[in-house]
Amino acid sequence: MRRDKGFSLIELLIVVAIILIIAAIAIPSLLRARIAANEASAVSSTRTINTAMVTYFSTYPTTGYAATLSALGPSAAIPCAPAIANACLIDGTLAQGGKDGYLLSAIGAGVVGGVAMNYYAAANPLNLHASGDRSFCSNDDGVVRVDGTGTPIASRATCLALLPLQ
């Protein structure tokens, strides 16, 4: 009487093939889910920047909108001491300009008499089709707009030409 111990090579190959098929089905779905999460974070960050810019404008009316994203962020002091250069309106991660696969920026513009009268904020994917598929922006009207091609948004005029996020 013969006793077989363990698995045959064919049985092991079948198990490996099944695992590879499952991975081939699951990995693209996981990547799409990650991109969707990154895009949702970018939209949320853009809205947060909008709120911070409006607050900055009303807090520092002689300056207008913040010249840079970092001006909305925290100072080195603990607790944060609000000032024109560091208004303590957004967290440090957002103020540094990178979050969840997106490069964030905000620029005050339209300076009249030393007061920035408008701004634009942009969220552009760091790696197109890997960290995100779309670019987002907003300006002083508070409307978040989207570029479905993921082309980097580099000016207020470019932002204004885009369609609002649905």
Q: Which two tokens stand for residue 92?
A: 């440090």
Q: Number of structural domains, the chain? A: 1
Per DSSP, the three-state class of 40 is helix
Q: Domain for residue 4, yes or no? A: no
Section 28-33 average pLDDT: 91
Give the CB-side neighbour count of residue 17, counting CA atoms within 13 A. Answer: 6
Q: Domain for residue 72, yes or no? A: yes
Asked if 67 contacts 53 with a C-beta cutoff of 8 angstroms, the reply is no
Q: Domain for residue 3, yes or no? A: no
- DSSP per residue, 97-113: TEETTEEEEEEEEEEET
Q: How far is CA 118 from CA 31, 54, 109, 140, in A?
A: 37, 10, 5, 6
In the chain, which ranges are E strands? 98-99, 102-112, 115-125, 135-139, 145-147, 163-164
Query: What is the overall mean pLDDT for the chain?
Result: 92
Q: Domain for residue 1, yes or no? A: no
| Exposure b/e, 59-71, CB count within 10 A at least 16 = b | ebeebbbbbebbb
Q: What is the domain range of residue 31? A: 9-164
Q: Domain for residue 16, yes or no? A: yes
Given pLDDT bands bounded at 50, 70 and 90, which one contains residue 36? very high
pTM of the prediction?
Answer: 0.84
- Per-residue pLDDT reduced to its tens digit, 96-108: 998 999 999 999 9
Given pLDDT bands bounded at 50, 70 and 90, which one contains residue 16? very high
Section 15-24 average pLDDT: 93
For residue 112, pLDDT over 60 is answered with yes
Section 119-142 average pLDDT: 95
| pLDDT for position 14 | 93
Asked if 98 contacts 124 with a C-beta cutoff of 8 angstroms, the reply is no
Section 15-35 average pLDDT: 92
- Per-residue pLDDT reduced to its tens digit, 40-69: 999 999 999 999 999 999 999 999 999 999
- Determine which of 36-45, 72-81, 124-133 has the lowest per-residue pLDDT on average: 72-81
Q: Domain for residue 92, yes or no? A: yes
